[in-house]
Amino acid sequence: MGKYSRLGKNAFLMFLGNMGSKILTFLMLPFYTSQLSVGDYGTMDLVQVYVTLLTSLTTCCLTEAIFVFPKSQLLIKQKRYFTSGLLFSLGTLSLTGLLFILLISILRWLSYDGIFVEYNLYIFLIICVTFFQSYVQQFVRSIDKVKVYVVSGVVLTLTTVLSSLIFLPLWGIDGYIYSMILSYFVAAIYTVIAGKECSYFSLSLLSKKQLKEMLKYSIPMIPNSIMWWVLSTLNRPLLEYYSGIDSVGILAVANKFPMIIAMVYSVFTYSWQISVLEEFKDISYKFFYNKIFRLLFLVLICFLLGITILGRPLVKLMTTSGYNEAWKYVSVLSLAVVFSNLSGFVGTNFLATKESKYYFSTSVWGGTVCLISNFLLIPLLGIWGAVISILISNILMFSLRVKITWKYAPIFDWCSYMIIFLIVVIYILVNIFVSDIFIDIFCVCILLCVILRFNRKLLHEVFLLGKNMLKNKIK
């Protein structure tokens, strides 16, 4: 099977398992916003902020390593990696539980009663179940049980939706949390059973050597994870302080719409990671890489245009009146997500070279700029300060990763990308400040003409490839 066909097949499987699930989750937004006040939605967003940060810290990002190292290894080695990583993480999570008890006692003694203190038990339980679910799911992907990986995502989403419909009307924000804990636990149990992962676990297979290999790779990713947390979530506590918890809720809802772009990318990226590991050493890799990069770029831009033109009516349709302000931030956040996804795509080269230090260094620069921008802009501009900070930092991180990977994967014809991005920025500004559907359509038409001008050959190749794959399926 050719590299393009393999990538297409894996992407199709990810689409079946993940895209439908993620769309279903997105369609639940009207239900969530009807059941939770703006303040409650902001509170839930802050809980997830703490979970995101602490999961990486407490488990040393081993979910990243458990995908990379067992791949294409002998069965005995796969068992050692799985057992060693899981036992180490169980130990660190137990220690985290004790530290939680100590920290909460200190904070209560100091009369601090913030969201972290109020929801500390929930935060710890969510950390445990999300790590376990992610660890076992990444392992089945590493050992090429892609169908189990895909179905696991479906189980997670369906359980989340069904339990939310039951728990939210009964217990409000607590019901939302119960739904999260239950759904991650159920998905993890399914993955363990369907992937027959119990056969990979044995106390006798605990290996310091394999554990050190994984930790050597994953520990440098902790600062990277922290920087991503800074990029995407530090603005929440600052917004809560300067603009109130309602601003956190509005930003959280505004972020839901650009996440459509992130959904598209996440379906693709898991299959792309497999292709990178398989094709990186091939002499034609840079040409393969550039074709996929350009195709991904075009797909992301098309989704960006769609979300920008439909942002205002979508927000009004899918939320209550308290969230209407969110539409103003959707297009700029969507552009930030495009840069974030392109940065992630370029960064997969570090996966192939196992140079995780570059995840760290590029994220440090992006996170530092985001941190400074947040402190400077949020007090002055509120939500807009947070949005602009995210965009600037994502652009910087993408640029740094392109520069680092240029030696083995240069981007061809980069001027065409710059022209398209410039026109996109102009259109976004017009969309925000000039509310006219005809002007929107005119700008989109110009953009599509420019895209066709620079990408005729690639689009023709994609059309022929799709046509041939369809013919083979019919035969």
pLDDT tens, position by position, 152-200: 888 988 898 899 999 999 998 899 999 999 999 999 999 999 999 999 9
- How many helices (H) and strands (E) are present in the chain, helices listed first? 21, 0
**Coil/strand/helix, residue 72:** coil
Q: Count CA atoms closer than 13 A to 275's CA, side-chain side.
A: 24
Question: Residue 23's pLDDT is what?
Answer: 67
DSSP state of 413: T
* Amino acid at position 444, single letter: V
Query: CA 72, CA 74: separation in Å to the nearest integer?
Result: 7
Q: Which stretches in the chain have pLDDT values below 70?
A: 1-26, 224, 227-233, 270-271, 274, 277, 279, 354, 356, 454-475
Q: Give the pLDDT of residue 224.
A: 67
Q: What's the confidence (pLDDT) of residue 88?
A: 95
A 10 A CB-CB count for 236 gives: 23
The position carrying tokens 């036992």 is 87
Residues sharing a CB contact under 8 Å with residue 83, sequence separation 6 or more, in sequence order: 200, 201, 202, 203, 205, 206, 207
8 A C-beta contact, residue 378 and residue 235: yes
Shortest CA distance to 14 belongs to which of 258, 263, 260? 263
State in Å, rounded, how far the first CA of the chain is from the last one.
16
What is the per-residue pLDDT for 474? 47
Indicate whether this model's pTM tops 0.85: no
What are the angstrom distances between the C-alpha of 55 and each of 32, 128, 184?
A: 25, 8, 14
Query: What is the pLDDT at residue 127?
Result: 94
Q: How is residue 310 written in tokens?
A: 């439909």
pLDDT at 355: 72
pLDDT at 228: 66
Give the helix, strand, coil percentages of the chain, each rounded to 5.
90, 0, 10
Residues in the chain: 475
